[in-house]
Amino acid sequence: MEKLLLRNVDKENSHTIEVYLKGGGYSALRKALKEMSPDDVVEEVKLSGLRGRGGAGFPTGMKWEFAAADLKEPKFFVCNADEGEPCTFKDRVIIEKDPHALIEGMLIGAYATGCRYGYIYLRGEYPIGKKILERAIAEAYEKGFLGENILGTDFSFDLYVHSGAGAYICGEETALIESLEGKRGEPRIKPPFPVNAGYLWKPTVVNNVETLANVPLIIERGGKWYSQIGSPDCPGPKLFPVSGKVKRPGVYELPMGTPLREIIFEHAGGIVKDRKLKAVFPGGASSSLLTADEIDVPMDFPSLAKAGTMLGSGAIMVLDETDCVVKAALRLIEFFRHESCGKCTPCREGTDWLVRIMRRIEEGLGTEEDLDTILSVSETMENSFCGLGMAAHNPVASSVRKFRDEFLEHIKLGRCPFRSG
């Protein structure tokens, strides 16, 4: 497949505006501002079928339509660059290697929705990305792509980078907005959604980095062209970060709907030392795992939901036959316990309970009854206030359901069977 999202990343100095302009950069912005009305842009994005790449897959054109229809002022356009999910490192490639694609996507989105100010909320642990983005923004101001009366039109847009301080919860859009306002990053109740009441309670569009990098392509080549790539229900190119026990870990751009088996065994080279595949987390650290028999699934939102898991950020984490599923699930729930903001009881207490039970089992001190307790706590966590708590138990509960024998072996042996001695 022709590289679309990663078309620039292998070029020398791909992060500079000179290289971006040489490759046709900012021509989509020019086309949008000079030849299209804001409504035309929204319609084109709707026609493309683009769905959000942050994890939830909400239709981008519809989000923009809602924001455009809200006439409160000023409106804000926020890029969620707080990529904090373990094993998710796809947005980083765009931020560091093609920052102008992101800025151009934001400009087009801001024009379509009537936003005057923009923020890139950047993960605090991406200091290199911060320097690159700040430099790219300065370059875009110099060339007249940012600021007052862009390209001689009456569209004006100012853009700033805001660094997070290391809290995973600030990737949740309402916690991100609270943090941007200078408060502790805790989620707000939804609805109202940010498109109507976001930053400073004004209409605010929040889009993920990868989502925005798709936008110049859609405007340049048309929504119809885009809608024919990959899965009909959720088209387009998709970045899949692949990690764990594969021969060639990395970020792969493939059409949405590429089978998981093909990604692992063809693109990522198969399992290290030609061992057997054991299990895969197909959609980030909060997805339910799939066994080796379940990987003939197209990697798109509806297919993975049908398979009982989720596409999420599209991050694929692979375990081989030498990996302990109990230990892997324990590591993930330890992460979520640490990152739970503590605002609601099911998540704050649930993640802590799961860590304590899982540690006990991993150390060989668990009981069979613990497995029922894990599933019961997981069910309660479904009632958490935000997505973090609602999904945090997935790796643990799915491991118990699909690898019950491995848990029982830990209990029977009184130690981890993957540890010698």
Please count the other Cβ atoms lying within 10 Å of the Cβ belonging to residue 132: 19
Listed in order, strand segments (DSSP E) in 256-398 are: 277-281, 290-291, 316-320
d(CA 266, CA 263): 6
Q: Which is closer to ligand NAD, CB of 172 or CB of 300?
A: 172
Pick what 347 binds: ligand NAD, ligand SF4, none; C-beta below 5 to 8 Å, kind-dependent.
ligand SF4
Site string for ligand SF4, 386-415 (x = CB under 6 A): x-xx--------------------------
d(CA 374, CA 355): 10
d(CA 4, CA 139): 23
- Concatenated DSSP letters for 139-206? HHHHTTSSBSSGGGSS--BEEEEEE--S-GGGGSHHHHHHHHTTS---PPPSSSPTTTS-GGGS-EEE
Q: Which is closer to ligand NAD, CB of 363 or CB of 382?
A: 382
Minimum CB separation from ligand SF4 for residue 55, in Å? 14
Pick what 187 binds: ligand NAD, ligand SF4, none; C-beta below 5 to 8 Å, kind-dependent.
ligand SF4
Q: Report how far apart, in Å, the C-alpha atoms of 131 and of each of 104, 162, 360 are.
A: 18, 12, 44
Is the peptide bond prior to 191 cis by the omega test (within 30 degrees of 0)?
A: yes
Stretch that binds ligand SF4, among 47-55, 198-206, 265-273, 336-344 (CB under 6 A): 336-344
Which residues contact ligand NAD (rule: CB under 6 A)? 52, 54-56, 58, 63, 66, 83-85, 88, 171-173, 190, 193-195, 206, 284, 310, 312-313, 387
Q: What are the beta bridge partners of residue 243?
A: 317
Helix (H) or strand (E) holding 306: helix 301-306
- Concatenated DSSP letters for 204-244? EEEEEHHHHHHHHHHHHH-HHHHHTSS-SSS-SEEEEEEEE
Minimum CB separation from ligand SF4 for residue 337, in Å? 10
Residue 340 interacting with ligand SF4 (CB under 6 A): yes
User: Strand, helix or coil at 338?
Assistant: helix
| DSSP strand pairing (250-255 vs 237-244) | antiparallel
Minimum CB separation from ligand SF4 for residue 350, in Å? 9
Among 136, 197, 263, 347, binds ligand SF4 (CB under 6 A): 347
User: Strand, helix or coil at 88?
Assistant: coil
Size of the site for ligand SF4 (CB under 6 A): 14
Minimum CB separation from ligand NAD for residue 298, in Å? 17
Q: Which is closer to ligand NAD, CB of 150 or CB of 381?
A: 381
Minimum CB separation from ligand SF4 for residue 278, in Å? 29
Is the peptide bond prior to 74 cis by the omega test (within 30 degrees of 0)?
A: yes
Q: Which is closer to ligand NAD, CB of 173 or CB of 178?
A: 173
Pick what 384 binds: ligand SF4, ligand NAD, none; C-beta below 5 to 8 Å, kind-dependent.
ligand SF4
Maximum distance among all alpha carbons in the chain?
74
Q: Which is closer to ligand SF4, CB of 190 or CB of 224?
A: 190
Site string for ligand SF4, 195-234 (x = CB under 6 A): ----------------------------------------
Residue whose tokens read 């479904």: 382
Residue 169 interacting with ligand SF4 (CB under 6 A): yes
Among 344, 354, 357, 358, binds ligand SF4 (CB under 6 A): 344
Region of residue 149 (phi > 0: left; psi between -120 and 50: alpha; otherwise: beta): left
Pick what 83 binds: ligand NAD, ligand SF4, none; C-beta below 5 to 8 Å, kind-dependent.
ligand NAD
Q: Which is closer to ligand SF4, CB of 257 or CB of 346?
A: 346
Under the rule (CB under 6 A), what is the footprint of ligand SF4? 169, 187, 340-344, 347-348, 384-386, 388-389
